[in-house]
Amino acid sequence: MDPRQQELAARIAGRRGAVRGPFRVWLHSPEMCERAESLGAFARFDCSLPKRLRELSLLMAARNWDAQYSWNAHVHQAIEAGVPEAAVKAIAEKREAVFDDEEDQAFYQFCREVLEDHFVSDETFARAHAHFGAKGLVDTIGALGNFTMLGMCLNTFQVDLQADKEPPFPDIRGYGRVGADQDTQPS
């Protein structure tokens, strides 16, 4: 690493404990890495959303992009922060998640529509806005965008699934889909 990469690696390790996952890729472009790390730190630690919803948005974006590394790195944190295990399992299996808490359900529906439909209905927007306000929804979009970029990076550069973790999704193995057309998918 050149001096700039070393400086960034030291800063990342200081904040996050080590340089792993996407940061090992992003360090190839130090300016990109610095900006991605800054946005990621905001989305994970400093935005206006409660921790459980920051973690939920990460899991939803990870599943949307089939980002196994990201999912495995955060699934236990999400549960510890208060995301119900049944909802986590439903998201992993690409089923509709149901939350007892109205705020969590409104957040989930908002994120689901953004990620899957690419648009948010007026009703869903109004419901989420009533809970989180404009700032909360802007922070949600920032978090989803950051976690989407993260998933794209992890999959494109085939960042290895953690050695001690099982593949979390029933329809993904390696960096491809399994199922009816599994013979045509890369392994």
Question: Structure pTM?
Answer: 0.89
Q: Quick one: pLDDT at residue 181?
A: 54
- Calpha distance 178→8 (Å, rounded): 38
Residue 180 lies in a domain: no
- Calpha distance 121→113 (Å, rounded): 8
What band does 33 get if pLDDT is binned at 50, 70 and 90? Answer: very high
- Higher-scoring residue by pLDDT: 134, 37: 134
Same domain, 58 and 19: no
Same domain, 55 and 42: no
Residue 158 has pLDDT above 60, yes or no: yes
- Calpha distance 113→184 (Å, rounded): 30
Residue 157 lies in a domain: yes
Same domain, 58 and 140: yes
Same domain, 92 and 21: no
Q: Identify any residues that bridge with 172 across adjacent strands, giving them in sequence order.
A: 177
Residue 187 lies in a domain: no
Q: What is the CATH number of the domain that holds 67?
A: 1.20.1290.10
What is the domain extent for residue 142? 50-170
Same domain, 71 and 29: no
Q: What total number of domains does the chain contain?
A: 2
Residue 178 lies in a domain: no
Residue 8 lies in a domain: yes
Q: Quick one: pLDDT at residue 185?
A: 46
Measured CA to CA in angstroms, residue 59 lies from 75, 84, 150, 160, 185 at distances of 7, 12, 11, 18, 24
